[in-house]
A = this chain, B = another copy of it.
Amino acid sequence: MSTPQSLPSDSVGYVEPASVHFDEALSLESGHTLSGYTLAYETYGTLNADRSNAVLVCHALSGDHHAAGYREGERKPGWWEACIGPGKPLDTNRFFVVCSNNIGGCHGSTGPTSINPTTGEAYGADFPMVTVRDWVKTQARLADHLGIETWAAVAGGSLGGMQALQWAIDLPERLAHAIVIAAAPRLSAQNIAFNEVARQAIRSDPAFHEGRYAAAGDQPATGLMLARMLGHITYLSEAAMGAKFGRERRGEPNDYGFHYDVEFEVESYLRHQGQSFVDRFDANTYLLMTKALDYFDPAAATGGDLATALAGAKARFMVTSFTSDWRFPPSASREIVRALLDTNKPVSYAEIRADHGHDAFLMPVPRYRSVFTTYMQRVAAEVGA
Contact = CB atoms under 8 A, between A and B. Distances in A.
Interface residues of A, number: 57
Contact of A199 (B225, B260, B300): B260
Contact of A204 (B199, B226, B254): B226
Interface string A201-226: 10110100000000000000010011
A37 interface: no
A149 interface: no
Contact of A266 (B193, B260, B267, B297): B193
A154 interface: no
Contacts of A186: 247
Interface stretch (A103-111, A114-122, A236-244): A236-244
B247 A297 contact: yes
A205 B232 CA distance: 21
A300 B254 contact: yes
Nearest to A237: B190
Interface string A234-273: 0010100110111100000010101110011111001100
A83 B229 CA distance: 37
A270 B201 CA distance: 13
Interface in A175-216: 186-190, 192-194, 196-197, 199-201, 203-204, 206
Nearest to A254: B300
- Oligomer: number of copies: 2
A260 B192 contact: no
Nearest to A191: B238
A230 interface: yes
Contacts of A271: 196, 200
Contacts of A263: 294
16 contacts: A29-B256, A30-B258, A129-B258, A129-B259, A189-B266, A190-B236, A192-B266, A196-B264, A196-B266, A196-B271, A200-B271, A204-B222, A258-B291, A260-B287, A260-B291, A264-B294
Given A189-B244, A194-B233, A254-B301, 5 more contacts: A129-B258, A189-B241, A193-B241, A260-B287, A260-B291
